[in-house]
Amino acid sequence: MTLLQTRKLSAFYGDFQALFDIEVSVDQGETIAVIGANGAGKTTFLRAVSGALPSARDAVLFDGEPIGDKSAHEIVHLGIAMVPEGRRLFPSLSVEENLLLGTHSDRTGPWTLKRVYDLFPRIYELRHLPSTALSGGQQQMTAVGRALMSNPRLLLCDELSLGLAPVVIRDIYACLGMIVAEGTTVVIVEQDINRALDASSRFYCFQEGHLALTAPTTGFDRASITAAYFGL
Amino acid sequence: MDWINILIQGGLLGGFYALFAIGLSMSFGIMRLVNIAHGDLIVLAAYVGLVVTERTGLDPFLSMILVAPIMFALGYVLQRGLLNQTLTGGLLPPLLVTFGISIIIQNGLLEVFGAYDHRLEEGAIETASLHLPGGLSIGVFPLVVFAVAVLSIASLQLLFYRTRLGRAFRAVSDDADTAELMGIDNRKLYAYALGIAMVFTAIAGVLFGIRTIFAPSAGPIRLILAFEAVIIGGLGNMWGTLIGGIVLGLAQAIGAALDPNWQILAGHLAFLAILIVRPNGLFPRTRD
């Protein structure tokens, strides 16, 4: 069953067109990767799906319903949660308060404060600290936990590995596996191609706002990905 | 003993200025709204108190039971219907719109109530005072006002740090776009914020009406006092706002003791001095 589908999705920053007729479809329970160079439109794609950037009503379908014209907070209530690029934790809030903010979507499901702490035990010990006191990896875990607290059907992850040490990245992607096992559908946006392809079953490669290539990740020739990535 | 008396009166006066400032501090802290109409809204609340006491025969203190919800509703509607539309276009639109609201309130009050001075009669408490050993005497009403200011700020702190709504207020203040991505309806939240700010404006307005005579033109000077208290204390810090009010009250009391003509001037000078030494105020908290 298709959970997310975009149909001729275009997005603009003022007069500048950042996305051109993007067609993406994600099945329930699937993990897909969106890859591409800087400025390819990956983050813009996530912003359009999450409602942070307006798009045409029928350009984004979630569970068969058009949501392109809905605002960001309405879309969270429908079950799409975002882990934003650069974490964007709330500096005035403690770690636990940041997590609790995810409950403002009023959605119930498998993810509770306890389950998130089970997934990230280190965060539990730090829960009363201000979020700014955490290391980059711990902040990223908090950001993922905060998104999970809204019990999303679709989780959008923007650059999970940004600025993190390889060993921390490995930990976070291991946790992502457990989230997927819970039945959550995941869209990963990454510049780290190998990491993204390892974690997903299919990928979409964007190039300058256009969809350059889409294919299953297994048994695929990485040379042609490189070609699509750089537009060679 | 005279000086101790002066300092006590000044400090208590500071509680009054802090009450003026709470609503302003809150709307700036949460939605970065510089509300030029704030002083006129205080005066409007005093007039609402006047109408309520005249129509119902309630005593002014009790009239707050009606004035507060009326002002809450006004704040909610004002934010939802008008001010929310001004928040995306930079700093200027909210300034211009609230300036316009200020003019509308002043002239509306002038039209309905005339230019005469009014006041709210509370009776004996207005002039009652406590006589302490050592020749000190403290007015009961200023003491009540100060206690109300402290209680108001304490209850707001509880709201901010102990409730779900308060958590959302702090999150939106930090980063409104990300809060929206967490499922918070910022526009609705802003409406609640101005509504709650107006509850404290209502309290300030009624107490203002009891303390002194008021006329439709009384707003702008309340706005300046409130601004100074907020800035001295540091943006976004409610207890700082109380300290800011006290600094202002003390400066005025000391100035008045030296020469009655210097009272207002001394407050402004203290404000300017602090602005030079600590441009962000004494205890800034709001992040930009």
B167 contact residues in A (CB cutoff 8 A): 93, 97, 100-101
Q: What is the pLDDT of residue B1?
A: 55
For chain B, say whether A65 makes contact (Cβ under 8 Å): no
A170: which strand partners? none
Three-state DSSP class for residue A60: strand
pLDDT (tens digit per residue) in A46-61: 999 999 999 999 999 9
Distance between CA atoms of residues A29 and A185, nearest Å: 4
* Low-confidence winner among A90-99, B108-117, B123-132, B198-207 (lowest mean pLDDT): B123-132
For chain A, say whether B184 makes contact (Cβ under 8 Å): yes
Q: What is the pLDDT of residue B126?
A: 84
A184, two tokens:
């959550």
Q: Report the alpha-carbon angle A88-B195-B162, nearest 5.
A: 50
B115, two tokens:
């230019």
* Torsion angle of C-alpha atoms B120, B121, B122, B123, degrees rounded to 10: 170
ipTM: 0.92
In this complex, the residue of B171, B181, B184 whose CB is nearest that of residue A82 is: B181
For chain A, say whether B54 makes contact (Cβ under 8 Å): no
Distance between CA atoms of residues A81 and B121, nearest Å: 56
The neighbour count for residue A179, using CB atoms within 10 Å, is 20
pLDDT (tens digit per residue) in A12-26: 998 999 999 999 999
State the DSSP H helix or E strand holding residue A118, giving kind and residue range, or none if neither. Answer: helix A113-119
Given an 8 Å threshold on Cβ–Cβ distance, is B183 in contact with A77?
A: yes
Position A26, amino acid? V
Q: What is the pLDDT of residue B286?
A: 55
Given an 8 Å threshold on Cβ–Cβ distance, is A72 in contact with B170?
A: no
pLDDT (tens digit per residue) in B173-211: 999 999 999 999 999 999 999 999 999 999 999 999 999
A82: which strand partners? A156
* Torsion angle of C-alpha atoms A130, A132, A134, A138, degrees rounded to 10: 100
A92 contact residues in B (CB cutoff 8 A): 170-171, 173-174, 287
For chain A, say whether B179 makes contact (Cβ under 8 Å): yes
pLDDT (tens digit per residue) in A152-195: 999 999 999 988 999 999 999 999 999 999 899 999 999 888 88
For the full predicted model, state whether its pTM sits above 0.80.
Answer: yes
In this complex, the residue of B171, B173, B287 whose CB is nearest that of residue A101 is: B171
* Low-confidence winner among A79-83, A189-193, B77-81, B253-257 (lowest mean pLDDT): A189-193
The answer to whether A148 and A179 have CB atoms below 8 angstroms apart is: yes
State the DSSP H helix or E strand holding residue A16, giving kind and residue range, or none if neither. Answer: strand A16-27
For chain A, say whether B183 makes contact (Cβ under 8 Å): yes
The neighbour count for residue A21, using CB atoms within 10 Å, is 13
The answer to whether A103 and A149 have CB atoms below 8 angstroms apart is: yes
The neighbour count for residue B106, using CB atoms within 10 Å, is 21
pLDDT (tens digit per residue) in A58-109: 999 999 999 999 999 999 999 999 999 999 999 999 999 999 999 999 999 9
Q: What is the pLDDT of residue A193?
A: 86
Q: What is the pLDDT of residue B288?
A: 47
B177: nearest CA in chain A?
A: A52
The answer to whether A29 and A185 have CB atoms below 8 angstroms apart is: yes
Give every CB contact of residue B249 below 8 A, 6+ residues apart in sequence. Answer: B10, B11, B12, B13, B14, B15, B16, B17, B267
pLDDT (tens digit per residue) in A106-154: 999 999 999 999 999 999 999 999 999 999 999 999 999 999 999 999 9
pLDDT (tens digit per residue) in B2-30: 888 899 999 999 999 999 999 999 999 99
Choose among B75, B77, B81, B85: nearest CA to B26.
Answer: B75
Give every CB contact of residue B61 below 8 A, 6+ residues apart in sequence. Answer: B122, B206, B210
Q: What is the pLDDT of residue A72?
A: 96
B38-52 exposure pattern, b = at least 16 Cβ within 10 A, e = fewer: bbbbbbbbbbbbbeb
Distance between CA atoms of residues B152 and B241, nearest Å: 12
pLDDT (tens digit per residue) in B23-35: 999 999 999 899 9
